Amino acid sequence: MKYFIGIDPGVSGAIAILNSEGQLAVFDAPTVEMKVGKALKRRISPEILVSMLQPFTIEASAWVEQVAARPGQGVSSMFAFGESYGLVKGVLAGLQIQTNTVTPNAWKKAMQLNAGKDASRAKAAQMWPQQAGEFSRVKDDGKAEAALIAEYGRRHTF
């Protein structure tokens, strides 16, 4: 494989593209505001996601964090999260990018991390010091996790 795509799904998630030489590009999840009922809500844009991933369809594999319901999470927010997860997987399938899922426990264990998001940001900054600024803010945890998921995919693709 030439490209390893890591995806932390959800509207606060991110996409990371890691090439075989270890060069990394990270992006916040492409979102748009749309009317849902009477309110404006952020949702992942399938059109923007397709345009982001289209150049990487040849010789690419994607690793998507496998999501599940968490105790205490609201029904509508869980539905929106599941919608984002399905949309990401559908776009990857439509682009014919080989897609794998990985649980948070599996990739974090392989990357020697605890469950904390700060640990993900620190590890990503350590692994890609030239891009440490991409992981410096608390809200950059999605970028850090997407990058680490891409690295997990690189290590587990044969």
Q: Using one digit for the tens of pLDDT, what is the confidence trace for 5-56?
A: 999 998 899 999 999 999 999 999 999 998 888 889 899 999 999 999 999 9
Contact predicate 34/87, CB 8 Å: no
Q: How much is the average pLDDT of 122-133?
A: 95
What tokens appear for 29 in the block?
A: 């999840």
Domain over 3-155 is classified CATH 3.30.420.10: yes
pLDDT tens, residue by residue, 91-114:
999 999 999 999 999 999 999 998
Domain ranges of the chain: 3-155
pLDDT tens across 54-99, in order?
999 889 999 999 976 666 666 677 777 788 899 999 999 999 999 9
Instruction: Encode 102-144 in three state secondary structure.
Output: ECHHHHHHHCCCCCCHHHHHHHHHHHCHHHHHHHCCHHHHHHH
